Amino acid sequence: MSSPAPLGPKPKKVVVVGLDNAGKSKLLRQVWNDLGATLPRTISPSETSSTSLAEAAGIVFVVDATDDHPRWAEAKRELHGMLAAFPPGELPPIVILGTKIDRPYAVEEAVLIHQLGLAELVGGRPITMFMCSVDWKFGYKEAFKWLSENL
């Protein structure tokens, strides 16, 4: 028997990137477990190991928002480098996800925006930031919703 025809359009690939230890794997597990039914059907998130950035319809850049051992300079280089690799005008929508805000040394959104140099990036690009905590099940749903509406 042949496999059934897919219902509706193929889900668009959303790639989750960020430094090691940022929280990508835990986020993805949580997104699949918890959002499952509510995740917009149009998107299919995974890490870059299985999907290349060039195939991505949208990108989630995960950054640890706690400043006990901050790696924001490194994260900033990674983010700006990634964006620079796209041809002008072909950048997919991007969510910067500041995560682990349940932790005691988590910083405010404005601090991360400054540390990651987001103001330099935004000009006309589909890029935004959300703060989240996987442990508190907070914030990531809104982030994926924004992305799904901006693909």
Annotated binding site for GTP: 21, 23-24, 100, 102, 134
Give the Å distances, CA to CA, from 117 to 7, 16, 40, 66, 74: 41, 20, 30, 17, 12
Q: Which stretch binds ligand GDP (CB under 6 A): 1-9, 21-29, 53-61, 121-129?
A: 21-29
How many CB atoms are closer than 10 A to CB 56? 23
Nearer to ligand GDP, 44 or 48 (CB): 48
In this chain, which stretch among 24-32, 51-59, 74-82, 116-124 interacts with Mg ion, using CB under 5 A? 24-32
Residue 103 contacts which entry, ligand GDP, Mg ion, none (Cβ below 5-8 A, type-dependent):
ligand GDP
Interface residue with Mg ion among 1, 10, 11, 25 (CB under 5 A) is 25
**Among the listed residues 141, 151, 146, the one whose alpha carbon sits nearest the alpha carbon of residue 35:** 141
